[in-house]
Amino acid sequence: MILRLMAAGAAAALLAAPPAFAQSKSAAAPQTVKIAYVDPLSGPFAGVGTNLVRHFQFMTEQVNARQLAGPGVRFEIVTFDNKASPQETLTVFKQVVDQGIRYVVQGQGSGAALALIDAIDKHNERNPAQSVVLLNYAAVDPDLTNSKCSFWHFRFDANTDMKMEAMTTFMKDRPQMKNVYLINQNYSHGHQVSRVAKELLARKRPDVKVVGDDLHPLGQVRDFSPYIAKMRAANADTVITGNWGPDLALLVRAARDAGLNANFYTYYAGVIGTPTAIGAAGEDRMLQVSYWHPNIAPEYPYEKLYLDFKKRFNEEWYAVATYTGLAMLGEAMRRTGSADPLKVAYAMEGMKMDAPHGTIEMRASDHQLLQPLWIASWTKVGGANRHDIEKTGYTWKTEAAYPTFVASQPTSCQMKKPARPQ
Amino acid sequence: MLSDTLSQLLYGLSYGLLLFMLASGLTLIFSMMGVLNFAHASFYMLGAYAAYQVSQWIGFWPALVIAPLLLFAFGAVVERWGLRRVHKWGHVPELLFTFGLSYIIVELVQVIWGRAAVAYRVPAELDGPVAWLQGYGITFPQYRMFMMGVAVAMLVAIWLLLTRTRVGLVIQAALTHPQQVEALGHNLPRVYMGVFGGGAALAGLAGVVGGNAFVTEPAMAGTVGAIVFVVIVVGGLGSLLGAFIAALLIGLLENFGKASDLTGLAVLARLGVDLDSGSALHSVLALSLSQVAPVLPYLLLVIVLIVRPKGLLGTREG
């Protein structure tokens, strides 16, 4: 107990002093900026979590080698396991603060993201000299940049509404689509997908009928055949699902086993492990909306990164938001010559830069990254579709590429901004 | 439509028979040794991974034989050097031992094969729908038919083993009169070892056929572990036939439940009761059967424990 108090006291003393780097704009002294990775590293989502740590470590090497955060500035990832639980996330956040870390990356689970935003807002209000910034790379609940938006939160993934906007724009030119079936996991993400799908379909394709809207328990269902039977009975020719992991893999496989001729529009078919589980079952029936896939162009400058990552770790480099997040953070530090979160946050607002998939912009009003989106279909490797995903013999083929303005959504965010630093 | 109902019936039966394959090993171990093997679902997972590895090296059909044999050996080793030592302290320590073992197996699997899913696939010969059912308008995968066949063959084989062979007779005798069996000169510890290994092999066999129908990943033990206990409790601890009936019942219940859009509100409306959206139970009654179907087996478990704790055909109490 006494030791804990002493440690806390020492930490507070260290934190009270501003980072030495901020004193000189032309930083000659080398500076290490620690970034906390708060996401599941154990339990059922451990596979996804550990792969994403590697994404971040890979990008950190890029930043350090190319001095993307300014001369002498290095990034370092410190991992924390939040076990995908919002309660555990709060416990972990205390450890992050105790260790004096000012930047957090998180993405797996909008519930945990929300808990983190809330904790960070309160912490930053009470301790403005030890403010923390959250870079959200995958939590897609639209509320995080609308009703629950925060100055200290920056989202680098396209949110649920944006992705559905791109999907439904694609569907506008598909007259063969008549009956749409919605199936989702029964929690906040699934509810959001279901809600926005119905909203946007009513607006853009009023002729299309929504013939089913199912919600099933998360990660519990092994046998999706009854749901496929319902889809067949309803004459569904299109299925929209926000499912991920085994829930998606088993759904698509059940559809193929039962010979259901419907197209599956998905959000998360590219997540590690899912392509392997789906394999040939997805051929000519599965599409996904994403901000990137490895065949977006016959050749492009970041292809080398994709191949490097794949060779080193034998896993797919798919979460490119890990790249854009750290690249933008680094650029903000380089421009301001500081690692102070308040200055960096203001520098990131409205920032435009180049990324593997095009030009990206961090919108100042809600801290939502605006970026192009792709609709891609699962098809055999060949020709321009050259990169084999997870050794399945299949890969993504662009069906439509949408520039940034197509998917961008208006926002209802009214964020309270702290005073601009001098 | 009749073909839809028949198709769902077949799917429900195939899922139920897979559950039975899992539950049978657990029931045998429990009847014989009084040990509730918490690691049983992990044996299922090990069977799937072993089959995956063997099918990578040799092929699926050898894996169908080799993987259960590997699991038999593993189970025998666990019993001989683990469970037997813990046995003298009673049933609760044995339970804790198997509980801890389940965690160790999950971690071991992740160390060897990684944390992500592995590409254990249905063999090409068994891929595709059953031809003669297509004529009736039913698209049912050949592989599911194969799974049902394996489960039924396994059931017949166990029955033959227990009733027609000497080993089986010794096992049956040891179930009720272990001391007399030992007094007659039979090696009872070896019988126990064989039964535990056999139970593990049955779980492994379920893993071989289930692993490629569903996803083979480290989380697969957790998803199937709970439902297996529901099966044996509802069927009655210690009864193989009870486990069979309960497994089929639960398989059909889940499948037909998922296909139904019936809500509590609709039932009440049929009875002439109209609940407005402000009332307390409205949101619960608005849930459709398909949304709660995966939870129905657990509801059944609770009802059985309240109404008839020894299960359908249970032979042991408490």
pLDDT at B86 over 70: yes
pLDDT per residue as tens digits for the range A357-408: 888 999 999 999 999 999 999 999 999 899 999 989 999 999 999 999 888 9
Residue A414 lies inside a defined structural domain of this protein: no
pLDDT per residue as tens digits for the range B16-45: 999 999 999 999 888 878 888 999 999 999
Mapping DSSP onto H, E and C, the string for A155-166 reads: ECCCCHHHHHHH
Rg (CA), chain A: 22
Q: Give ipTM to 2 decimals.
A: 0.78
Minimal Cβ distance to B116: which of A216, A273, A391: A273
Question: Cβ(B76)–Cβ(B199) under 8 Å?
Answer: no
- Looking at A370, A395, A417, which one is the last position of a domain? A370
- pLDDT for the residue numbered A344: 95
What is the CA A407 to chain-centroid distance, rounded?
16
- pLDDT for the residue numbered B213: 86
Residue A149 lies inside a defined structural domain of this protein: yes
DSSP symbols for A326-385 = HHHHHHHHHHHT---HHHHHHHHTT-EEEETTEEEEE-TTT-BEE--EEEEEEEE-BTTB
Count of domains for chain A: 2
- For residues B183 and B170, what is the distance between their CA atoms, to the nearest angstrom? 12
- Structural domain harbouring A258: 161-290+373-407
| A95-154 residues touching B, CB cutoff 8 A | none
Non-local CB neighbours of B32 within 8 Å, separated by 6+ positions: B171, B174, B175, B192, B195, B196
More confident residue, B84 or B135: B84
Specify whether A92 is located in the same domain as A130.
yes
Residue A135 lies inside a defined structural domain of this protein: yes
Specify whether A196 is located in the same domain as A260.
yes
Q: How many CB atoms lie within 10 A of CB B298?
A: 14
Residue A259 with chain B: CB contacts under 8 Å: 129, 139
pLDDT at B222 over 60: yes
In B, what residues contact A, Cβ < 8 A? Answer: 1, 4, 7-8, 11, 15, 110, 114-119, 121, 129, 139-141, 143-144, 214-215, 217-219, 222-224, 254-259, 261, 290-291, 293-295
Q: Which residues are bridge partners to A105 per DSSP?
A: A37, A135
Chain B nearest-CA residue for A48:
B116
- For residues B162 and B170, what is the distance between their CA atoms, to the nearest angstrom? 9
Residue A257 with chain B: CB contacts under 8 Å: 129, 139, 141, 143-144
- pLDDT for the residue numbered A24: 40
- pLDDT for the residue numbered A4: 59
pLDDT per residue as tens digits for the range A243-290: 988 889 889 988 988 888 899 999 999 998 889 888 888 888 899 999
Q: Give the distance from residue A241's alpha carbon to the nearest chain B alpha carbon, in angstroms.
A: 15
Specify whether A346 is located in the same domain as A261.
no
Nearest to A50 by CA among A255, A407, A250, A313: A313
Highest average pLDDT, of A5-14, A217-226, B96-105, B220-229, comes from B96-105
Chain A nearest-CA residue for B220:
A44
Non-local CB neighbours of A131 within 8 Å, separated by 6+ positions: A102, A123, A124, A152, A341, A342
**B318 confidence band (pLDDT: 50, 70, 90):** very low
Specify whether A353 is located in the same domain as A389.
no
3-state secondary structure of A27: coil
Specify whether A86 is located in the same domain as A110.
yes
Residues of chain A with confidence (pLDDT) below 50: 11-28
DSSP state of A291: S
The predicted model scores a pTM of 0.82
Specify whether A228 is located in the same domain as A354.
no
The CATH number of residue A207's host domain is 3.40.50.2300
pLDDT at B275 over 80: no
Q: Provide φ and ψ at A173, rounded to 5°.
A: -100, 25
Residue A301 lies inside a defined structural domain of this protein: no
- For residues A276 and B118, what is the distance between their CA atoms, to the nearest angstrom? 7
Question: Cβ(B106)–Cβ(B42) under 8 Å?
Answer: yes
Specify whether A362 is located in the same domain as A379.
no
More confident residue, B276 or A319: A319
Residue A23 lies inside a defined structural domain of this protein: no
DSSP state of A281: G
Minimal Cβ distance to A216: which of B11, B15, B291: B291
Specify whether A134 is located in the same domain as A217.
no
> H or E stretch including A154?
strand A153-155
Between the alpha carbon of residue B122 and those of residues B51, B59, B71, B251, the distances in Å are 11, 11, 21, 21
- pLDDT for the residue numbered B31: 82
Residue A148 lies inside a defined structural domain of this protein: yes
Specify whether A257 is located in the same domain as A379.
yes
- pLDDT for the residue numbered A394: 95
Specify whether A168 is located in the same domain as A271.
yes
Q: Give the distance from residue B157's alpha carbon to the nearest chain A alpha carbon, in angstroms.
A: 27
Residue A60 lies inside a defined structural domain of this protein: yes
Report how many Cβ contacts below 8 Å link chain A to chain B.
108
Specify whether A182 is located in the same domain as A89.
no
Residue A416 lies inside a defined structural domain of this protein: no
